[in-house]
Amino acid sequence: MSKHQFLLFLLWSLFIVLCCSECRDCTSYEEKGDLEAIKKRGKLRILLPVLWEDEMLPREGTPLGLNEEVAKKFALEIGLVPVVVYVENYEDLIEYLLDGKGDLIAADLTVTSERKSRVAFSAPIKLVKEQVVTRTDDNTIKKKKDLSGRQLAIRKSSSYWETLEELKKSYPGVEMLPVKENLDTEQIIHLVAEGVYDATVADNNLIDEVLRYRSDVKVAIDLTGDRPVAWAVRPQSTELLKELNSFIDREKLAGLSGETYKDDLPGIKGRKVLRVLTRNNAANYFLWRGELVGFEYELAREFARRHGLRIKMIVPPSHDDLIPWLKEGRGDVVAASLTVTEERKAEQGVSYSRPYNYVTEMLVARADEESLQEMRDLAGREVVVRPGSSYWQTLSRLKEQGVEFQLQEAPADMETEEIIDKVAKGEYDLTVADSHILDIELTYRDDIKGAFALTDKVPHGWAVRAENKELLAAINSFFEKEYRGLFYNVTYNKYFKHKHGIRKLVEQRAGTGNKLSPYDEIVKKYAKRYAFDWRLITSQMYQESRFDPGAVSWAGALGLMQVMPRTLKELGFEDVHSPDEGIHAGVKYLYQMRSRFDAPLPLTESVNFALASYNVGYGHVLDARRLAGRMGLNPDEWFNNVERAMLLLAKPEYYRHSRYGYCRGSEPVKYVQEILTRYSAYINIAEHQ
């Protein structure tokens, strides 16, 4: 294929993905044939479960949505238009496939005897062990026979149920407790930890991830040996399966075994995976409304894409572990807003890329501080920073130059954002932050300020092992082309310049006459359908978009109700800029969130939790409810209870032990408060009308 033909192919593929791949009309047919019949229709229908933002933040794993991305690539490689068919219930995936409503299940299915009798599985994507999970203080299960008389909470649709049914043939005393199908395995593990259930079963890779953020559960025993996890096609789709297995082999989808690697770019390309060491915070990498975001994450993802690689995100326990983990071969690159100092450049075994960002190190003080204008004003003050940070080096040099102040250590695992928060509260006197971190903070808060710069502009760079010269050259080439280019500027402005914080609360009558908004009749129609007060929906719509149907948020949320693109696709909507579809999508999504908070919660609390979930993601609200319970607060009440716990999820000592990681909890707290305050005003307005 010539370069010109290749570019045309890429443009055609992009057009297909953007314009055709989510069309609902594309799935309104049944097809049960093999590859030849599928090619006549020109589309590969990819069956995927609706995520509903349940995916946790990967602290050491591949990004969310990887299966969808890879399956689309497979479709394009065999000359077909990728069409995603979202299936609301995981257990219905096989039925959809066999009924001809889809052609390929691109979800991770454990290969079991029962499933093998119904579908044809691909080559393994990975291997997992099924393990029994109990509370840490439960030492009664050491062998399989110890499961007799024990009750294990399992979804009937899971592969674990089939495993336990087989086990009961040898140990009839094993009891299986069926749980609700809308409980995912991690939620069941949490309920085991909280004493609701006795024990459960989960795959070892999922348990490993859970154990990274909580220590009150453990693996009791292995229930199985290694079992393959794979994708599936219909039994008669032998040619499609042949093409799929060839693709899986080329793409190395079986993943990594957990071993360390120190190879250069050719070896990384052979493995097809770039392992990125970073930190879970607002500048680098975090989860927002079910989407992975962050400046460093987006740069790394784009670099990987340019080289035909997938990325695996790895978050070490602290900042001080980033370089040691790189040297040990536990990652390939450090992308974590590292300032390239002379001290760091002198370290053996590490090389830094050319700069891709320049920041100044700013002295951070409380907003009402008036006495700090220049260096000499630091006399007698106390400045708190991490010892391993570039700020410590800067401040140490200032002390050597005769500036008299006290330099105090912050914990090595404390993020700069948390130190800033302690300054704002008066727990610390002063601190230092890179200007881009301060920019983020100032989009959300007004109780701190940058007093003055301690340095001129200093560079940020990525770190690689010194011997990985080809990788370093590729990174340098990427930054040389992209720095201050379109992609870079859009990404930079998205995180550091866009004022996406909570706006000042104002009341605005957006229409004339007796209307609260230009869209009252549409809102009333869908609010009634999903059993909401239409004035609540109007208040939320104002909060989201200021009644602008063309609004686009900093993270790509769209329309009057600011729904994320992936969620729109899963809900089945296409034209979000149409007021009717945009409002319908938002109300339906809020209904989905409310439905997830089961009775006996009062309706008002379900709505509060649903609003918070709409803003920041369902998972972060689950984390806050669990944290509230551990704090002795009421996990079933939002105000003065769960909202207090939510505020703590911006602090490392709390988000490191949460399923969904870092969360700027002040945003959903203000979001719920402002919507309900405006809602009360709207009620009064409507009643007076």
Question: Which residues are part of the catalytic machinery?
Answer: 544
Give residue 190's region: left, alpha or beta (phi > 0; psi -120 to 50).
alpha
Given a contact cutoff of 8 angstroms between Cβ atoms, the answer to whether 179 and 155 are in contact is yes
For Cα atoms 442, 447, 452, give the angle at the middle one, nearest 5 degrees: 65
> What is the rounded CA–CA span in Å between residue 268 and residue 483?
24
Given a contact cutoff of 8 angstroms between Cβ atoms, the answer to whether 198 and 174 are in contact is no
> What is the rounded CA–CA span in Å between residue 274 and residue 283?
20
Residue with tokens 């909280």: 194
> What is the rounded CA–CA span in Å between residue 398 and residue 393?
9
Counting Cβ atoms within 10 Å, is residue 408 exposed (0-12), middle (13-18) or buried (19+)?
A: middle
* Strand extents, DSSP E, 227-272: 227-233
Tell me the sheet residues that pair with 409.
Answer: 385
Alpha-carbon dihedral 527, 532, 534, 539, rounded to 10 degrees? -120
Q: Is 291 helix (H, G, I), strand (E, B) or coil?
A: strand
Q: Is 458 helix (H, G, I), strand (E, B) or coil?
A: strand
> What is the rounded CA–CA span in Å between residue 673 and residue 679?
10
> What is the rounded CA–CA span in Å between residue 29 and residue 357?
50
> What is the rounded CA–CA span in Å between residue 672 and residue 135?
35
The DSSP string of 387-415 is TTSHHHHHHHHHHHTT---EEEEPPTT--
Q: What share of the chain is helix, strand, coil (3-state, %, to 5)?
A: 45, 20, 40
> Residues, the chain, total?
689
Q: Reading across the β-sheet that carries 151-154, which strands appear in turn?
A: 175-178, 151-154, 199-203, 130-135, 217-222
Given a contact cutoff of 8 angstroms between Cβ atoms, the answer to whether 33 and 102 are in contact is no
At 119, the amino acid letter reads V
Residue with tokens 């495993």: 163
Nearest in space to 105 (alpha carbons), one of 474, 92, 113, 117? 92
Beta-carbon-side half-sphere exposure of residue 361 (alpha carbons within 13 Å): 23
Query: Which tokens hold the place of 605?
Result: 């609390």
Given a contact cutoff of 8 angstroms between Cβ atoms, the answer to whether 231 and 109 are in contact is yes
